[in-house]
Structures are given as C-alpha cells and as structure tokens.
Chains A and B, each alone.
Chain A
Amino acid sequence: MENARILLVDDETEFTDSMSRLLRSRGYQVTAVNSGEAAIKALGQGRFDVMVLDLKMPGMDGMATLREAKKLDLFTETLILTGHATVDTALEAIKLGAYDYLTKPCEIGDLVLKIQGAKKKKDDTQEEVITKKIDGIVQGKSF
C-alpha cells in the first residue's frame, strides 16, 4: 500500500508543523493548511487520501469545513482531531461522514493507525466506485 497523501488542517502552525514532520518522517505526503477555507481550496487543487481536521478553528470551523468538503464529492476520508473529548461532537462529525476521531494530545501510534484505516477505507470506496463504473461501461450503461 502506497503511503497516503494527507491534508492537515489546524489553525495552529506549530501544531501542523510538528505533525507534518512526524508524518513525513513516516513516509506520508503531508500538506498543511491553517484554515477551513484554505483546506477547501487545497482539496479542490490536489488529491488527498486523508484529511486530518481540527474542529475548533477561527472563521470556518471543522464542522463547516467537513460539510463543504463533502459537497466536493471526493473520496478523501476525514479524521477528526479535537481538543474536546466528547462523544456527541464526534458523533455529529461521524454522522456528517467523518471516518473517525481522535482527541488531542494523541499518540503518534494511534494517529498512524487511524490514518491507515482511513486510507484503506478511501481506497476501498474508490475501488468499489471505479469497479461499478467499469461494470457500467462494460454493460453499456451510461452514467
């Protein structure tokens, strides 16, 4: 499995910086942005397997970003990273289509595990969709 392309979204530069370095050293391709708006822009421009999204941000917050990202109809999976260890916000995010959530501060090991999980899900979904499309073409159906 090729290493995932990750979009890091957090308003704190130092945090994204540390995390980028850690993930890069583990072979991931990391793009870090510091706002929801920048994240949407980045999603429009590049291709990402997993978006690690902070919920609490000035301006467009994590939930809004997630909603916007879903509108783009991408395969990118979202992993919520939050300072609030509460079930209800996480549940809300998952209802909106997030893959899973982690609470700050988290262990790098846990983070990597969840990223792998998200990447796998993204790959599976993508494969499924492509297979369906191919099936459709094969069966002469238009889409």
Chain B
Amino acid sequence: MAGPKSGTSVLKNPEREAYYKRQFRKFVFFTAVSSIIPLLILGWIFNYYYTDFVKARTKASFVTQLEQHCKLVELFLQEQVAKLELAVRNHAKDFLADERNLSAIFVTINEKRGAFTDLGLIDSEGRHLAYVGPYDLMDKNYSNSFWFQEIMTGPSKQVYISDMFLGFRDVPHFIIAVMGTDGIERWILRATIETEVFRRIVEDVKIGSTGEVFLLNTQGVYQSNPSRGGKMLERSVFPVMPFTETVKVAIGRFGTSENPDRPALQIASYVWLNNPRWMLVMRQDYSEALYDVNHVNYVMLIILHASAFMILVVTIFITRYMIRAMRKRDVELDRANECFFQASKLASVGELSAGVAHEINNPLAIINFEGQILADMEKESEMAPEFREQLLRSLARISNQVKRCKRLTHNLLKFSRQTESQIGDVDVNSLIADVIPLVEREASTSGIRLIVEPEPDLPRVSADSSQLQQVFLNLITNAIDAHNQTGYGSVRISTRANAKDKGVDVLISDTGSGIPQEIIDKIFDPFFTTKPVGKGTGLGLSICYGIVSKLGGHLSVQSKHGEGSVFTVFLPFEPPQGRKKPGETEQKTTP
C-alpha cells in the first residue's frame, strides 16, 4: 500500500535505525540473561551434583565388590586350612606317615576343588616322612626353609600360610602348614595350594577392560598375576597401603607396569587379609569406571548448550520479527501522522479560504459594478475615439480579471466546503469514460495520446460521482499539462481492483516532466503550483486530496524527474464508518 506520499523517506532515518538496533540488542541481551543464564546455571549445578552422586555410588560399589571378593578369598583359604587342621587333629603322626593313608586323605581333601597340588608330612627335623604329589621331594630337607623355621620357632603358630615363593620346584606357589603335636614331638602337615586354582579365585572378577584384581604382600610383591602388566613375584608399582581391616577407596595415578610413564587416573579399593598378610587390590581406570556418568554428562552438556544456543537463535529471530513489526508500525504511524497533518492543514486552510473568499467577493463586486458604471458612462459620453478604444480595452480587462478572481474565490469556497458529498454506488470505469471527452480536445491540441485501460468487471465503489469526476478531470488535466507543450507523449488511465485493501486503484500515469524530489512533499499543499502565474490556483491537487481522503481513500504519487509521474487514487468499496449515508447533506452554517 503506497502512502499518500511515496516520495518522502521516513524509512531510512539513521536516528531511528540506531534506536531499532539498540532495542534489538537490549531485547536479545535481557532475554538471554533471563532465560539462558538460569538454564545454564541450573544445568551446571545439576551436572555437578549428578557427577558427585554417581562418583559416590561408584566408590560404594568398589567397596562392596571388594568386600565380597575379599570374603571369597579368605573363605577359600580358611576352607583349605580347615581341611588340613581336620586331618591333623583326627590322625596320629604314624597314621599319616603311611603314604597310603596320606594319599587317601589327599584324595579326600582334593575331591571338590582340586585346590591342593601336594601334601607332605614333615617331622621336627625338616625331613619328609611321607609325600603325595607330582614332585620328587622325599629327600628334601626343609629345616632351612623360612616357613619351617617360622612355624617351628613361632610359639603357638599352629597354622602358617606362606607368601608366594619358588622353592625347590622353581614354580611360584605358596604353602599352608599346620602343626600337629604328639605330646612333645612336633610335626607338620604341609600342603601346596594349586596356584592356578587360587589365581582363578583371586582374579575372577570382571571389571571392564581396564579393571584388575591382584594381591600384594607386605613388600608390595604380586601374589597373583595382575592383568595389566607385571606378574607374580614381581614388585608392583602400586603402593603398599597402611593396614586396614575395612575396605578403603583411593583415587590417584597409581601407575601400572603397562605404561608407567603416563599413569592414568584410577580408582582403587584395597583391604588387608588377616592371614596371610596380603593386600587385596581392585582398581580400574577412572574414565572407564565413570564412563556412563561421563557419557551422560557429555550428552547432557551438549543438550544444555544446544538449548541455550537455540534460545538465543529463537530470541534473535523473534526480536528481528518484532523489530520489523515495530518498524512497520512506525512507518504506518508516520503515514497516519502525515495524513492527519495534511488533513488538518487542509482544514485550517479551508477555514481561512472561506473567510478570504468572502471578504474578497465584496470588493470584487464593487470593482465589477464600478466597471459597469464606467461602461455605462462610455456609452453616453462623447470622447476621442482613441480614448474610447483605450477605455473599452481597460474595462474589458477589468471585467476579465474580476471573472478570474471570482473563479479563484469560488474554487476556494468549493475547496473549503468539500462536505456536501452525495455518496452512491459508482462505476469508476464509466465515470472515467464520462471524463475523457472533456479532456480529449485539450489532449489532442497538445499532441498527447490518451490511453484508457479499464479493468473489466471492476467492482463498484461507494463515492460521490461528481466529486470523483472533478478528481479525475483534475488529475488528467495535470497529466496533460505535465508534458509542457512538448507536443508528444501519453497519459495512461488504468483501473484495477485492489483486493488487499478492499477497493479500487485508479492509476493516472504520464510521460511528462515528472516532479522533482524537493517539491514532491509539497504538491498536495493548498496554493502550491508549478504552473505559470494566472494559469493555476494551486488548489487542484489539494482539492483532489481532500475529496479522496473524505471518501476513505488516498491519493499518492510516484515520480521520477524527467520520466513522468504516476498518481494513484485508491477508493475503498465502502467509505469509512461515520460517513454520511447517500442523500444526506452535511450542514455547515455560513459565518
């Protein structure tokens, strides 16, 4: 929809553009502060507590798992000790010294698990009295072995479990020795635990790909095979922890033999067994232990930041949309203001004109009458012919000028009183067809071609037909005059339905001189004219503007200096509310 003055440029006002930019920044900033920041804070807090919670749970699960595992290992050892103790308590040395009997016991205690590799009876001198097992150890003397000395010298140490050692057989193993006594003589029932069976029990815990379970003795030597580098009887890089009966959890870079240079952060739980003094350790890379929580955190943080980003994007879009709406509203407001300004200007000019016209009419009438008196006298007087001729010419001129003034004052009065409209259904096409003959003569003498392009089946509008006629007559005459007597050119009058604004557009375009930008704002002002003195009153377009506005439409112009102008008359199907009904005349009392 073209405004009443498309030539004016309210659209590019740098001050206002800066204002829009400021508003845009402000809105985006506040929306971001009030929605994105709380969201991020909430997300981060949640994330922090969730991580904390999961960490605690992971630690707890490490404790529970190790507790159970420790119990399992201890139970295994206790079971083996109990079997040996049973044999020692129930049988005399001589009975056990019989290899057949020992072999039968070996078979019995080994029935279930196969946990024993061999079984031997050793006297107080360290000599084998009997031996059942795969090695040829009958002639071995244990009197110098550390375990033998330990059990023999220990005051009441009836059960002894050794650390892993190589011994005579040169294979890592450990033994359980139970001391028996026959009054004063001491003897020992010694059994070797099947390393593979023990290892299975110790190492049989599944904890991810980086998890491992192992046993260390008080010197930090592996008592089982760790799964991540190092092996039994080697020194572990894992520190020997202070003695504790309850399971503890530690997080740190303990290092593995696998890659000692770049130790990964690990979570480890440990506990000391009572007999033997071995430390059971379960550890796993921290990243793996907390993989799930890390993954969830990662996904959550991505979603969180994506949401924040989305809010920002949506905010920017909404703000842009709003600023656009604001700008549109401002432009419309400007137009409305302009219309209002124009209308009030017209109204005050109207009042003024009415007064002026009335005041001028009286002196005009006197001039006219006085001229008439002179004319009367001329007829009755005798005078020189040249004088008479001069007098007559002057009188004719006076009469003409009075008539010109009268035209002006009558136009002014018409302009000031454009209220007496008779609204009816008007067929704009036929109205234009009526106007054309009135301007055809002028057009053809000026060499201007009139082209009429009516849209067929144009809807009728509610308007005052005689006023509209005046509008079109005026606009077409102006369009012809715009060619400045060049002797060629054309004026195109076209009509079209304007469904969007519910009305009819009438376009009057010419190929004339166009309107310079600097005066395009003024052309609808009363008394503004570019025509030579005496040719135009400067009221034509102003009257047209007033008429069209009163009918609820608008008159706008688009022009390029030197290329011509297009005047667009928009007429609504229905005049605005509050306008007079057909046949009703508006009363305006004469002052």
Are A and B bound to each other? Answer: yes
Q: In the complex, how many angstroms separate the beta carbon of A49 from the nearest chain B beta carbon?
A: 20
> Chain A residue with minimal CB distance to B367?
A105
Q: Is A18 an interface residue (CB 8 A)?
A: yes
- Given A21-B373, A22-B372, A85-B413, A105-B364 contact (CB < 8 Å): yes
User: In the bound complex, do residue A12 and residue B362 qualify as a contact, i.e. CB atoms below 8 Å apart?
Assistant: yes
A12 to B372, CA, bound (A): 18
Indicate whether B257 reaches chain A with its CB closer than 8 angstroms: no
Most buried by A among B366, B406, B591: B366
Q: Is the CB of A105 within 8 A of B370?
A: no
Residues of chain B in range 362-380 having any CB-CB distance to chain A below 8 Å = 362, 364-370, 372-373, 376
Separation of A55 and B591 alpha carbons in the complex (Å): 9
Among residues of B, the one whose C-beta sits closest to the C-beta of A18 is: B369
Contact call A104/B413, Cβ cutoff below 8 A:
no
User: Is A31 positioned at the interface, with any CB of B under 8 Å from its CB?
Assistant: no
Quick one: which of A1-36 are within 8 Å of B by CB? 12, 14-15, 18-19, 21-22, 25
> Which of the segments B135-143, B425-433, B463-471, B582-590 contacts the partner chain?
B582-590
| Contact, CB under 8 Å: A14 / B366 | yes
Taking a contact as CB atoms under 8 Å apart, the answer to whether A86 and B413 are in contact is: yes
Distance between Cα atoms of A105 and B364 in the complex (Å): 6
Cβ–Cβ < 8 Å partners of B231 in chain A: none
Instruction: Assess A25 versus B368: contact at CB under 8 Å? Given A56-B590, A83-B357, A105-B406.
Output: no
Interface flag for A41 (CB, 8 Å): no
Check: A108 CB closer than 8 A to any chain B CB: yes
User: Separation in Å of the B244 CB from the closest CB of chain A?
Assistant: 116
| Contact pick for A104, options B365, B372, B376, B585, CB 8 Å | B365
Q: Which residues from B are CB-within-8-Å of A106?
A: 365, 368
Task: Take A55-B590, A85-B410, A87-B420 as given contacts and tell me if A104 and B373 are in contact as well, using a CB distance cutoff of 8 Å.
Answer: no
The range of chain A's interface size is: 20 to 34
Complex Cα distance, B369 from A12, in Å, reads 13
Judge whether A73 is part of the interface by a CB distance below 8 angstroms: no
- Whether a CB of chain A sits under 8 angstroms from the CB of B305 is no
Smallest CB-CB separation from A62: which chain B residue? B590
- B361 close to A (CB within 8 Å): yes
Give chain A nearest CB distance to B364 CB in angstroms: 4
Within 8 A of B (CB), among A57-96: 82-89
The interface residues of chain A lying within 8 Å CB-to-CB of B590 are 55-56, 82, 84, 86, 89
**Chain A CB within 10 A, most for which of B357, B368, B369, B420:** B369
The answer on a CB contact under 8 Å between A105 and B361 is yes
Which residue of B has the minimal Cβ distance to A56? B358
Interface hub of A82, A87, A105, A108 (most chain B Cβ within 10 A): A105
B366 near A25: Cβ-Cβ < 8 Å: no
Q: Measured between alpha carbons, how far is A140 from B413 in the docked complex, in Å? A: 56
Please tell me if the beta carbons of A56 and B366 are within 8 angstroms of each other in the complex: no
Which listed residue, B354, B402, B413, B588, touches A105 by the CB 8 Å rule?
A: B402
Cβ of A108: which chain B residues have Cβ within 8 Å of it?
368-369, 372
- Residues in B neighbouring A89, C-beta threshold 8 A: 589-590
* Nearest neighbor of A106 in chain B, beta-carbon distance: B365
Nearest B residue to A25 by beta-carbon distance?
B376
Write the chain A residue with the least CB distance to B403.
A105
Residues of A within 8 A of B354 (CB): 84
* Interface bits B386-421 vs A (CB < 8 Å: 1, else 0): 000000000000000010011000100100010010
Q: Please, which residues of chain A bring their CB within 8 A of the CB of B364?
A: 104-105
Complex: A91 Cα to B376 Cα, angstroms = 33
**A103 close to B (CB within 8 Å):** yes
Contact indicator A88/B420 (Cβ below 8 Å): yes
Q: Could you jot down 12 A-B contacts, CB within 8 Å?
A: A18-B369, A22-B372, A22-B376, A25-B373, A56-B591, A103-B361, A104-B365, A105-B365, A105-B405, A106-B368, A108-B368, A108-B369
Using A56-B358, A56-B590, A84-B357 as known contacts, list a sample of 4 further A-B pairs with CB atoms less than 8 Å apart, ordered by residue number in A: A14-B366, A21-B369, A86-B417, A106-B368
A interface with B by C-beta (< 8 Å): 12, 14-15, 18-19, 21-22, 25, 55-56, 82-89, 103-108
Which 5 pairs of residues, A with B, have the shortest CB-CB distance? A83-B361, A105-B365, A18-B369, A105-B364, A104-B365
